[in-house]
Amino acid sequence: MRFFRSGLCAAGAMLFAAIGATAPALAQAPAAPVSGAQFGLQEGEAPVIQAIRVDGNQRIEPETIASYLVISAGDKAEPQLLDLGLKTLFNTGLFADVALEMMPDDSLLITVVENPIVNRVILEGNRRVKEDKITKEVQLAARTVFTRAKAQADVQRIIEVYRRSGRFAATVTPKVTPLEQNRVDVIYEIDEGPKTGVAKVNFIGNKNFSSSELRGAILTKESRWWRFFSSNSNYDPDRLEYERDLLRQFYAKNGYADFQVISAVAELTPDRKDFFITFTVDEGQQYTVGEVKVKTSLAKLDENVLERFVPIKSGETFNGERVEKATESITFATGASGYAFVDVQPRLDRNRDSNTIDITFEVNEGPRVYVDRINVKGNTRTLDKVIRREIRVAEGDPYNKVLIDRSKSRIRALDYFTEVEITDRPGSAPDRTELDVAVKEKATGSFSVGVGVSSTENFIVDFSIEERNLMGRGQTLRFRVQTSSRTRLVDIRFTQPYFLDRNLAAGFSLTNQRTDFKESGFVRDRYGFGLNAGFQISEYWRGSVQYQLARDKVTLDPDSFLFQSTRQVTDGTDISGEFVPGVTVPTLTPLYQITNSSGQVTGVTADPNATGVTGRYVLNGSPISQYTAFSCDLITQAFTPSCQSRGKFLTSLFGYSVGFDTRDDPIDPSRGSRFQFAQSIAGLGGDVQYLRSEINGAYYQKLFGGFIGKVQLRGGYITGYAGDDVRLQDRFYEGADSFRGFEVAGIGPRYLQGAGTRDGNIFGQAIGAKAYAIGTVEVKLPLPLPKEYGLRASIFSDFGTVGLVDDSNKTINNNLALYVDPVNGRLCSDSAIQTPSSPGLANCIKPIQDDLSIRLTAGVSVSWDSPFGPVRFDFAKVFRKEEYDRTEGFRFSAGTSF
């Protein structure tokens, strides 16, 4: 085995034991008379070459070797020509040693030692840097020709890889292991060394900002133990120039337009473990904004209108960032007005005497540029037309930055790609440009069999097959089977986004679903089908129409406290008057008392043979019986919301929606807005008549320091018509994900029961609402973690109101026997009931509670793109609620978009 060594300072010194002649030295020698003696010639002799023979070759054909010479058989053996041929053979890189010699028979003998072929390249000791990251940088690979120069270059490349990762003490020792058939294994032994950190970042010349403030403005951070996730606490020489720009941006944002970084110096400590970085700066003076104007030579542009897009006011501190934003805003405004060739240049006129800067935005016609070609790259599966139909410019159109940015947003909205980039490069003429649309595809199909839990479902078993980009055509097909503690679902859906190659989406769905609304005490079995179509109204506006036909069967939950009612009466009592006419009146069951050895009554039972039974149960001198009946058979319960909503219903529903979306990124927005208004009407056939209207809008805005703000408002109203009230299953139920801090259906109208309390709250049934209005203010936090971790966090506040039920649901509020005592958690006693104003009813409240009061919560939300799917954790504190609302401080669920 031959060894060679390289380090940080002497990468190529004494690289290998000698392998052949020192050809590079010959090749680099200065021009001088060539002696023929080295080629076996007498002084002044130049015989004619009779033949050329090759010796020592193993892989390379003799004819190939001879072809590199500048002479051939029949030429004179001039020493200068032989020397040139020798150098040419060395420069091919195929040989470790080459010798030319004229033989006595005037033949030229070429003796070669071929460079070996690399069998494999082995990396040893690379624990901190992945192998594929290194192999992308090195030249030597399997089946390539080995040379010392390539090995030297590879050593430097590997060291540079480690430098970029912050390891300046790394050394690389290359080794070569000879094999049979002139092959070698190349081994790079890597000593990674410790990670080179940043001991201190110093600033010289800063007077108006502290060094701590300036450290916060740059990317490089001082090495601390808690920054083990960050890659910015190691020294990177390529980052220094970027730090200069960050400092200039920081000072320009604070009014220092003359700021300069005089020098940026990094010094390595003697132990080679850390760097000291020192920035020397000249702050200059602070400016305020003087006069702000927009000047244009384009006749159809109004300067006064354009000034409205400038967010800069005279008298405020100069801010270079706002100047850039104003330039961008004017460019977009003119582009949206149809001016594709506009050049916006801000001119800054400094008034050093008054420390002010006059800003003039000069808007002139720029050079005319047209789109020559549009190239789509990286789509190995998705058809070209799926991507091209989202691009807002065509070949031959004027180059328009606004439409190109919009095209990128639309392609990302497909959610077929992890990366989307649109770049331009020179076209076939000076006024032509080509657009390269580069995408990186991601998996759009899924086959999953999962078992999980959530705060809402308790347990979930899910089987689904989904393809969102069917055969690369952009179609969506989904088949899903799910069962959980509250839902059983079979669902098939198909959507064609460009029906008949037009901008018209069309699809259908088939559904069979059983849902247990535990909070409302009923179970709904639904099966049906739906049709939908979507169409483009304008660039940002879109509309859709839907039709759904569904058969619902609504029954009371057998496990609900509402399902059965039990009452004790004296023997012989006629109970038929307590039941709805036409139902079967239950028979009375005698009750028996159970006593202990002391003769005390300890219980009551309907089993006369039970242990401890001593006779009939007697109250106030009368024997007592009881009956158990289906709650809805009782007159007092027949008009409760649950009983009114049970039965079989056919719903024929037609709906439409319109909305717009101007967000810069539909997946992870940082600015822009979205809005949707939807309305649906049931009653075009079927048994159900209602009109439902909903509105939903959100606004996104970048804040300071990487924070992103969101304000969202949504509301809805549903009302019956033609004498129909709104049934429980068609009402709005808010809470959990839709109003954090409350349980599922934990906010809104509630039917209270005299059955005690649960977790300190009045026990009752959510009956849904006809109206809701909920707002959200949320701020997404910048986390000091790599984006690949998939972690996001935000602080939020949800506020709003949920309420209104039909008057028919409130008729039971006229039955004083159903009033509830919330203090003792029971029905108010019959003896206390006289009138609603009686003293005995002081603690009693109506069973149907419906209050449009404002509720308010706030908290923290954390989402994680886990290997098992998106997960969201919500921690919420309720600041304002009603006594009957159901709250929760923590919830985890499937992740949602910000």
The model's confidence at residue 79, banded by pLDDT at 50, 70 and 90, is: confident
DSSP string, 603-649: EEES-TTSTTEEEE-EETTEEEEEEEEEGGGBTTTTTSHHHHH-EEE
Per-residue pLDDT, 226: 63
The b/e string for 381-414 (b: 16+ C-beta within 10 A; e otherwise) is ebeeebbeebbbbeeeeebbebbbebbbbbbbeb
238: Cα within 13 Å, side-chain hemisphere? 7
Q: Does residue 457 have a pLDDT over 60? A: no
Query: Quick check: 688 pLDDT over 60?
Result: yes
pLDDT-derived band at 31 (thresholds 50, 70, 90) equals very low
Please write the tens of the pLDDT for every residue from 177-199.
999 888 999 999 998 887 777 88
Q: In the block, which residue shows the tokens 């192998």?
A: 131
pLDDT value at position 849? 87
**Mean pLDDT for the stretch of residues 658-663:** 92
Beta carbons of 119 and 142 less than 8 angstroms apart: yes
The per-residue pLDDT for range 351-370, each reduced to its tens digit, is 988 999 999 999 887 777 88
Give the per-residue pLDDT at 73: 86
Quick one: pLDDT at residue 281?
Answer: 93
Residue 400: what pLDDT?
A: 82
* Residue 872: Cβ-neighbour burial (10 angstroms; 0-12, 13-18, 19+): middle
Closest CA to 370 of 393, 388, 396, 392: 396
Summarised one tens digit per residue, pLDDT across range 246-283 is 999 899 989 999 999 999 888 888 777 788 899 999 99
pLDDT band (50, 70, 90) for residue 27 = very low
Q: Name the strand (E) or helix (H) holding 246.
A: helix 239-253
* Distances 10 to 1, 159, 170, 199, 762 between C-alpha atoms, Å: 22, 12, 13, 26, 80
What's the rounded Cα separation, in Å, for the pair 12 and 385?
Answer: 53
pLDDT at 453 over 50: no
Residue 598: pLDDT over 90: no
| Structure-token match 């009983």, residue found | 643
Report pLDDT digits (tens) over 787-837.
767 788 999 999 999 999 988 878 778 877 678 776 665 667 443 433 444
Q: Is the pLDDT score of 344 beyond 80?
A: yes
Token pair listed for 447:
């086959």
Indicate the average pLDDT of the chain. 82
pLDDT of residue 455: 41
Q: Is the pLDDT of residue 513 over 80?
A: yes
What pLDDT score was predicted for residue 897?
44
What pLDDT is recorded for position 835?
A: 42
Q: What's the pLDDT score for residue 91?
A: 86
Instruction: Give the pLDDT confidence of 135-144 residue by residue, as tens digits.
Output: 888 988 888 8
Overall average pLDDT of the 717-738 stretch = 90
The pLDDT value given to residue 35 = 60
Burial class from Cβ neighbours inside 10 Å (0-12, 13-18, 19+) for residue 798 reads buried
CB atoms within 10 A of CB 432: 15
CA distance 753 to 480: 38
Please state, for a pLDDT cut of 90, what percent of the chain lies above it.
Answer: 28
pLDDT for position 421 = 92
pLDDT score of 438 more than 70: yes
Q: Which pLDDT does position 33 carry in this prediction?
A: 59
Mapping DSSP to helix (H, G, I), strand (E, B) and coil, where does residue 773 land? strand
In this prediction, residue 29 carries a pLDDT of 39
Residue pair 809/818 in contact (Cβ under 8 Å)? The answer is no
Query: Which comes out higher in pLDDT, residue 859 or 79?
Result: 859
- The band of 762, judged by pLDDT with boundaries at 50, 70 and 90, is low
pLDDT over 90 at 879, yes or no:
yes
Q: Is the pLDDT of residue 766 over 90?
A: no
Residue 894's pLDDT is what?
Answer: 55
Give pLDDT, residue 466.
Answer: 79
